[in-house]
């Protein structure tokens, strides 16, 4: 109609309808896509594990709510960022290679692969993780789906179980070794080997075991592992560096000073020591308040307080304390048995010697009497006088021997009175004054102010005279005789001591343990039969004291008499 509204043709109308339909369809598809994405995101968020979708470039494409909760990041902080932000820095280089290798050969890897994987939270906390990997192809684009699970608790439980097993294994093995017929040193060496065999990344396979020597007051090295070199810690200036490291490490260990805590369960603390080159644990081996030794195990890093190691080390130390005390008790028992056997032998020998001496003394007295008559009647410078002099001399020597034998075998009661010991010493030194001058022997005195003691003056003087006589005999070409009087403590008791030292040749170690045995002598002359020191020891024991000896070959010997301050003589 002219001048009116123009009605489109059928074809034009159809085009308009199709256009609106296409637009509506596109909008419907977009809405459906959004609904699908939302549904997919809900499905991901419902997953129990953290889910991370990673592109080939290593960037994060999609995460779920569990990922946010596990790592502490929001979704916005993660999308588009590099996956390395969720991994400790020390693993970045290797992880980048692993990503490239996986995309080159995609495959499904389930959880429980046994790999040690660590995650890194926003706050810097590391945790043990288990990860499954699955390739995902979306429109020709490859993504990797990683399901991540925090297994820190499970790993700790497994490690604790394994650690407890290792503790029981080591303790059981130590106890089994303790039943073997081996020395204590071998026992400690094998124990140290077991200790450092425990798998622990914080510890090194290096360590020492020392025992405390009460006699010297020092720690003695008994076992070492991980340090090359000799067991002895002696070395020269030209020694290899490894031996120097051994010396340095061993000295570092001995800087530990254990403090008693007063706690019955753990009376001594396990200490941690750090030097310029070594970090190590110092673990005391103790019985009650008494330190028996120490264990030192070296670490790779400063450990601080690690309860697992402390539990293990205390268990080992307590076990070793039992073993050491058992060895010490057994050694003491053997020593007592030997002393008992020796005492029985000596008692029998004393009875036989006394009987023989009594049988010989009467006829010897008769021979001596007739020999002296012949000596008086024979003219001087004649063969008869020479024979008579020889008989009289030998009879006199035999009488001295019989007197020593009867003294050793006898049970003469002591005549105890209060005396100042240095006065007795001075009287004896005056007797040997001329002999010392003839042999160019210098006499040195070192007298401390000591109290009077209850002793038998004659018997004590006999002991001192015997020691001085032996010292002079050891210095035929001259030397220095030193006699000291002092006050000392031994095993909680107070003693007045007399120490006689010489600068002679000394006593070899193989003879040092035998010199107090009856009839043992180091003298090459025909005088004496080796009862002097045995008698001296007996007299000291009768006084309730004892005698000790120290000697260095080429430097001399020193004998020390211990007289108790309080009267405690042996019952007769």
C-alpha span between 240 and 228 (Å, rounded): 10
Q: How many CB atoms lie within 10 A of CB 488?
A: 14
Give mean pLDDT, residues 561-565: 92
Give mean pLDDT, residues 142-165: 85
pLDDT band at residue 240 using 50, 70 and 90 as cut-offs? very low
So what's the pLDDT on residue 235? 36
Q: How many CB atoms lie within 10 A of CB 563?
A: 21
So what's the pLDDT on residue 274? 65
pLDDT band at residue 212 using 50, 70 and 90 as cut-offs? confident
pLDDT band at residue 156 using 50, 70 and 90 as cut-offs? confident
Greater model confidence, 366 or 435 = 435
Q: Tell whether the model's pLDDT for residue 516 goes beyond 80.
A: no
The residue behind tokens 């003491």 is 332
Q: How many helices (H) and strands (E) does the chain have?
A: 14, 17
So what's the pLDDT on residue 70? 92
So what's the pLDDT on residue 496? 94
Name residue 484's beta-bridge partners. Answer: 446, 499
Sketch the domain layout of the chain as residue ranges. Answer: 48-150, 182-305, 328-410, 412-564
Q: Tell whether the model's pLDDT for residue 159 goes beyond 60.
A: yes
Q: Report the Cα 384 to chain-centroid distance in Å.
A: 74
What are the distances in angstroms from CA 527 to CA 81, 406, 473, 517, 535? Answer: 102, 17, 12, 17, 16
The residue among 545, 394, 520, 523 whose CA lies nearest residue 463 is: 545
So what CATH class is 48-150?
Answer: alpha beta
C-alpha span between 480 and 555 (Å, rounded): 11
Q: Dmax over Cα atoms in the chain, in whole Å?
A: 197
Q: Percentage of residues in the chain with pLDDT exceeding 70?
A: 73
So what's the pLDDT on residue 164? 80
Give mean pLDDT, residues 303-309: 64
What CATH topology corresponds to 412-564?
Heat Shock Protein 90 (3.30.565)
Q: Which helix (H) or strand (E) holds 161?
A: helix 152-178
C-alpha span between 221 and 231 (Å, rounded): 7
Q: Which of 156-160, 357-361, 418-422, 479-483 has the lowest average pLDDT?
A: 357-361
Name residue 550's beta-bridge partners. Answer: 558
What are the distances in angstroms from CA 338 to CA 322, 324, 325, 335, 346? Answer: 24, 21, 20, 5, 12
Q: Which of 96-100, 401-405, 567-571 has the lowest average pLDDT?
A: 567-571
So what CATH class is 182-305?
Answer: alpha beta
Name residue 280's beta-bridge partners. Answer: 273, 298
The answer to whether domain 48-150 and domain 182-305 are alike in fold is yes
Q: Which of 307-321, 333-347, 422-436, 557-571 has the lowest average pLDDT?
A: 333-347
Beta strand 126-138 with 141-150: parallel, antiparallel or unpaired?
Answer: antiparallel
Greater model confidence, 357 or 132 = 132
Given a contact cutoff of 8 angstroms between Cβ atoms, the answer to whether 474 and 520 are in contact is no
420 HSE (CA, 13 A, CB side)? 9
Query: 356 Cβ partners below 8 Å, 6+ apart?
Result: 405
C-alpha span between 381 and 393 (Å, rounded): 17
Given a contact cutoff of 8 angstroms between Cβ atoms, the answer to whether 360 and 347 are in contact is no
The residue among 500, 463, 502, 494 whose CA lies nearest residue 564 is: 494
Rounded to the nearest integer, the mean pLDDT of the chain is: 78
Its pTM stands at 0.47
Given a contact cutoff of 8 angstroms between Cβ atoms, the answer to whether 184 and 285 are in contact is no
pLDDT digits (tens, 9 = 90+) for 459-485: 888 889 889 988 998 898 899 999 999
pLDDT digits (tens, 9 = 90+) for 395-433: 777 776 666 665 655 555 778 899 999 999 999 999 889
The dihedral of CA 416, 422, 426, 428: what is its sign?
A: positive
The residue among 137, 55, 136, 63 whose CA lies nearest residue 100 is: 55
So what's the pLDDT on residue 542? 85
Greater model confidence, 330 or 253 = 330
Q: Tell whether the model's pLDDT for residue 256 goes beyond 80.
A: no
What are the distances in angstroms from CA 466 to CA 395, 418, 463, 533? Answer: 22, 22, 5, 8
Q: Which of 112-116, 239-243, 561-565 has the lowest average pLDDT?
A: 239-243
C-alpha span between 566 and 421 (Å, rounded): 14
C-alpha span between 351 and 405 (Å, rounded): 10
Q: Report the Cα 238 to chain-centroid distance in Å.
A: 28
Q: Tell whether the model's pLDDT for residue 497 goes beyond 90.
A: yes
C-alpha span between 227 and 242 (Å, rounded): 7
């Amino acid at each position: 109609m002219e001048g009116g509204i123009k009605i489109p043709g059928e074809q034009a109308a159809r085009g308009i309808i199709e256009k609106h339909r296409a637009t509506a369809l596109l909008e419907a598809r977009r809405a459906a896509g959004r609904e699908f994405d939302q549904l997919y995101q809900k499905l991901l968020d419902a997953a129990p594990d953290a889910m991370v979708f990673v592109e080939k470039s290593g960037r994060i494409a999609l995460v779920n709510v569990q990922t946010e909760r596990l790592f502490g990041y929001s979704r916005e902080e993660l999308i588009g960022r590099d996956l390395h932000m969720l991994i400790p820095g020390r693993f970045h280089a290797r992880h980048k290679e692993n990503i490239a290798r996986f995309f080159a050969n995609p495959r499904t890897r389930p959880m429980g692969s046994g790999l040690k994987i660590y995650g890194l939270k926003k706050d810097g906390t590391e945790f043990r993780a288990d990860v499954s990997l699955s390739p995902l192809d979306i429109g020709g684009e490859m993504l990797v789906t990683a399901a991540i699970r925090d297994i820190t608790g499970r790993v700790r439980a497994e490690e604790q179980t394994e650690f407890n097993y290792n503790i029981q294994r080591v303790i059981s093995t130590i106890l089994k070794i303790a039943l073997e017929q081996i020395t204590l040193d071998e026992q400690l060496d094998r124990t140290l080997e077991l200790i450092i065999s425990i798998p622990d990344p914080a510890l090194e396979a290096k360590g020492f075991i020392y025992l405390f020597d009460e006699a010297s007051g020092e720690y003695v090295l008994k076992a070492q592992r991980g340090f090359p070199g000799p067991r002895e810690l002696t070395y020269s200036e030209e020694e290899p560096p490894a031996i120097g490291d051994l010396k340095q490490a061993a000295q570092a260990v001995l800087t530990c000073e254990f403090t008693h805590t007063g706690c019955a369960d753990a009376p001594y603390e396990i200490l941690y020591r750090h030097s310029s080159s070594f970090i190590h644990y110092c673990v005391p081996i103790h019985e009650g308040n008494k330190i028996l030794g120490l264990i030192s195990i070296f670490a790779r890093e400063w450990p601080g307080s690690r309860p697992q190691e402390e539990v293990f080390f205390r268990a080992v130390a307590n076990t070793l304390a039992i073993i050491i005390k058992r060895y010490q008790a057994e050694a003491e028992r053997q020593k007592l048995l030997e002393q008992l056997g020796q005492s029985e032998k000596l008692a029998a020998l004393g009875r036989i010697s006394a009987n023989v001496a009594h049988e010989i003394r009467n006829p010897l007295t008769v021979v001596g009497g007739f020999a002296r008559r012949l000596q008086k009647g024979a003219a001087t410078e004649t063969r008869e006088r020479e024979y008579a002099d020889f008989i009289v001399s030998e009879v006199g020597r035999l009488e001295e021997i019989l007197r020593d034998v009867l003294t050793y075998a006898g049970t003469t009661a002591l005549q105890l009175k209060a005396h100042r010991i240095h006065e007795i010493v001075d009287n004896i030194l005056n007797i040997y004054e001329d002999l010392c001058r003839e042999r160019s022997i210098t006499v040195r005195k070192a007298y401390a102010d000591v109290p009077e003691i209850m002793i038998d003056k004659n018997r004590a003087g006999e002991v001192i005279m015997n020691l001085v006589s032996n010292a002079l005999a050891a210095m035929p070409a001259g030397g220095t005789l030193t006699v000291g009087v002092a006050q000392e403590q031994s095993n909680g008791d107070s003693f007045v001591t007399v120490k006689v030292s010489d600068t002679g040749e000394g006593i070899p170690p193989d003879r040092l343990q035998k010199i107090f045995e009856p009839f043992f002598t180091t003298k090459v002359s025909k005088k004496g039969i080796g009862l002097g020191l045995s008698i001296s020891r007996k007299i000291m024991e009768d006084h309730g004291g004892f005698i000790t000896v120290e000697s260095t070959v080429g430097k001399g010997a020193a004998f020390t008499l211990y007289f108790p301050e309080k009267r405690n003589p042996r019952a007769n």
